[in-house]
Structure 1
Amino acid sequence: MAKLVLSMFTSLDGYIEGPNGEFAPPAWSGDIEEHWSGYALQRAGHLLYGRKNFLFNKDFWSAAETDPKSPAAGIAYAGIMNRLPKTVFSTTLRGDPGWNATLVADDVAGAIERLKTAIQGDLYLFGGAGIANTVMTFDLVDEYRLMVTPTLLGDGKRLFDDGRPRRSLELIESKQLDTGAIILRYRPNHTT
C-alpha cells in the first residue's frame, strides 16, 4: 500500500507563501536538488495538488515539453514531473485539467484511499495549504516531509491552520542542507 507524504517547504515562522500570496521558494542548490526533489521523485508514483499549486506547477513544468528555452527545460527531472500521474483537488476547475492529471471535486478521503491501494510508489502531496489541511484533518498523512527554510516571512499563508486535531509525531530523520535549510521527516505516532 502506498503512503501519503505531505512534502512542502515552509519559512522558519511557518509560512508557505508571502503576505501578498507570493511564491517564496527556498534558495536552490545541488544539495537541495539531490535531497529534496531527487529524493521525492525517486519514490513518487503519483502527485497530489490543490488547484492553485497545480496550475502554477503545470504552467512551469509543461513548458519544458514545448519550449527548449523555458526555465523548466533546463532541469534534469522535468520529464519525470511531466510524466508522473497527478490528482488535482478542486471544486472550481472543470473538465480535463491536462498535465496527466485527474480532477477530484469531492470525497477527498475516498479518492486518496483508492490511490493508496492502486498505485506503485508513494503519493506526494505538494500543496497547497487548503488540501494539506484537509488531508491532515482526515488523518491521511503517513509522513510529513518538511523543508524549513532560513527565512522569516512575517506574514502570509501558514501551512498549519488553527483548529486541526492534535497529532503526535515521531521524528524519523533530519537533514541539514548547504543553504541552511533543514529537511525534517516525521510520521504520525498513533501510540500516544
Structure 2
Amino acid sequence: MRKVIVSMNVTLDGFMSASDCGLDWHFKSWNEEMARATAEQLSKADTILLGGVTYRGMAQYWNTNPVNMIRPREDLDFASMLNSYPKVVFTKSMSTVSWNNARIAQRDIGDEITELKRREGKDMIVYGSGKIVTALTKLGLVDEFRMWVHPVVIGCGKPVFKELSGILDLQLLKTEIFSSGVVILFYQVR
C-alpha cells in the first residue's frame, strides 16, 4: 500500500510559517545539498498532495518550463518532477487549477486519500499544507513525517500541530544533517 509522507519545513520553535505565511526564514539556510535531498525525496513519490494556499504559492513559483529556469541542476530536476507529477489539491476556495497534472479533490479528504493509497504506485508526498496535514493526521492517514528543522526561532507564526488533541506516537527512523544546520527528522507513525 502506498504511504502518505509529510515533508515540512519548520522552525526550531515549531512553526511552519510566520503569521503572515512568510517563509523568508526558510530560504536563509537553503543550499544545493538540501536541493539534492529534496529532489531525491520527491523521486521516491509519484503524487503530490496540497492545500489551496500551498498550491497557489508553489504553482506560482514552479509552474514553468524547467528548461527556461536559471537555477542549479537540482532545482531543475525538482521542477521537472513537480510539473509532471499528478497533484491533488484540497481546497474550498478555488474552483479550478491550472498547474500541469493538477486537479481539485472531489471527495472528502479521508475517502480521497484512502482510495489513492489503494492504487498502485509510489508514495504520496504532502508539502506544507498545515490544514491538510492536520486533517490527515486526525484521520490516521499519515504514515511518515519528514520534518526539516531549520536553525531559526521566529517566536510566533503558524504552528504545525495546532489543532491536534491527544498524543501522536512517533518512532524516529533516521536523521539527516546538512552543513546549513538544517536537520531532517524522519518519523514513522506507530
What TM-score comes out, normalization by structure 1 length? 0.89
Q: Which runs of 5+ in 1 are unaligned?
A: none
Q: Counterpart amino acid of 1:21?
A: C
User: Which residue of structure 2 lines up, in the alignment, with residue 5 of structure 1?
Assistant: 5
What TM-score comes out, normalization by structure 2 length? 0.90
Give the length in aligned residue pairs: 187
Aligned partner of 1:33 among 32, 35, 40: 35
- 1:80: how far off? 1.1
Task: Give the percent of matched residue pairs that are identical in Structure 1 and Structure 2.
Answer: 24
- 1:165: how far off? 3.4
| Alpha-carbon separation, structure 2, partners of 1:72 and 1:54 | 23
Point out the more displaced range, 18-27 or 132-141: 18-27
- 1:92: how far off? 1.5
| Alpha-carbon separation, structure 2, partners of 1:187 and 1:174 | 12
- 1:119: how far off? 4.0
Point out the more displaced range, 45-54 or 90-99: 90-99
Q: Counterpart amino acid of 2:57?
A: F
After superposition, the CA RMSD in angstroms is 2.1
User: Which residue of structure 2 lines up, in the alignment, with residue 18 of structure 1?
Assistant: 18
**After TM superposition, where is structure 1 displaced by more than 6 Å over at least 4 residues in a row?**
none
Alignment check: 8 A CA contact 1:48 1:88 kept: yes
User: Which residue of structure 1 lines up, in the alignment, with residue 175 of structure 2?
Assistant: 174
Point out the more displaced range, 158-167 or 54-63: 158-167
Deviations 1:128-158 (A, max 9, x none): 1111111111111000111000000111111
Q: Which runs of 5+ in 2 are unaligned?
A: none
Point out the more displaced range, 176-185 or 100-109: 100-109
What SS does the corresponding residue of 2:46 show, helix, strand or coil? strand
CA 1:166 to 1:105, structure 2 compared with 1: closer, same or farther past 3 Å? farther
| Alpha-carbon separation, structure 2, partners of 1:69 and 1:185 | 31
| Alpha-carbon separation, structure 2, partners of 1:145 and 1:134 | 17
User: Which residue of structure 1 lines up, in the alignment, with residue 126 of structure 2?
Assistant: 125
What SS does the corresponding residue of 2:68 show, helix, strand or coil? coil
Point out the more displaced range, 69-78 or 169-178: 69-78
Deviations 1:67-92 (A, max 9, x none): 82566998321111100101000012
| Alpha-carbon separation, structure 1, partners of 2:89 and 2:53 | 9
Q: Counterpart amino acid of 1:15?
A: F
| Alpha-carbon separation, structure 2, partners of 1:160 and 1:46 | 23
Alignment check: 8 A CA contact 1:5 1:122 kept: yes
Q: Counterpart amino acid of 2:108?
A: D
| Alpha-carbon separation, structure 2, partners of 1:184 and 1:31 | 16
- 1:44: how far off? 1.0
Alignment check: 8 A CA contact 1:50 1:88 kept: yes
What SS does the corresponding residue of 1:99 show, helix, strand or coil? coil
CA 1:154 to 1:79, structure 2 compared with 1: closer, same or farther past 3 Å? same
| Alpha-carbon separation, structure 2, partners of 1:13 and 1:68 | 37
User: Which residue of structure 1 lines up, in the alignment, with residue 49 of structure 2?
Assistant: 48
CA 1:85 to 1:69, structure 2 compared with 1: closer, same or farther past 3 Å? closer
What SS does the corresponding residue of 2:113 show, helix, strand or coil? helix
Question: Is 1:148 the equivalent of 2:149?
Answer: yes
